[in-house]
Amino acid sequence: QVQLVESGGGLVQAGGSLSLSCAASGRTVSNYAMGWFRQAPGNEREFVAGISWRGGSTYYADSVKGRFTIFRDIYENTVTLRMNRLKPEDTAVYYCAADAYGLGSSPVLEEYDHWGQGTQVTVSS
């Protein structure tokens, strides 16, 4: 079984940066595509970024393209979301997810097999 634990969330001013980390345990996720999602109060959970199992392909929601970067370390079993030029509308709980069969590009929640518990990101204006 895979366990995912996110860390790195917090409070930051608009224009600032944060890095979120997702650490996998239980078994390796080196052959899983990985994704980051977020959910703001009253909103549905939405796709933010994804990365293929080898890390060669990355995918981003239009709202974060050019500001966020996803990368992974298959040896450390971690996936990182680097967030720059943060905006108040980026405020949400951010979730890490693992997809055993996908490419990392899917926005469909049901296609992901494992989820973390989430970490809060708050961007003040």
Q: Label each residue of the chain as H, E or C.
A: CCEEEEECCEEEECCCCEEEEEEEECCCCCCCEEEEEEECCCCCCEEEEEECCCCCCEEECCCCCCCEEEEEECCCCEEEEEECCCCHHHCEEEEEEEECCCCCCCCCHHHCCEECCCEEEEEEC
- Quick check: 75 pLDDT over 90? no
The pLDDT value given to residue 72: 94
pLDDT band at 25 (very low <50, low <70, confident <90, very high): confident
**Residue type present at position 108:** V
Mean pLDDT of 86-98: 98
Mean pLDDT taken over the chain: 95
The pLDDT value given to residue 38: 98
The pLDDT value given to residue 28: 81
- Quick check: 60 pLDDT over 90? yes
The pLDDT value given to residue 116: 97
How is residue 15 written in tokens? 């224009």
- Quick check: 74 pLDDT over 90? no
CA gap 104, 100 in Å, rounded: 9
Residue in 26, 22, 31 with CA at minimum distance from that of residue 103 = 31
- Quick check: 13 pLDDT over 90? yes
- Kindly give, in sequence order, each residue whose CB lies less than 8 Å from that of residue 56, ignoring residues fewer than 6 positions away: none
CA gap 96, 77 in Å, rounded: 13
The pLDDT value given to residue 31: 87
pLDDT band at 14 (very low <50, low <70, confident <90, very high): very high
- Quick check: 103 pLDDT over 90? no
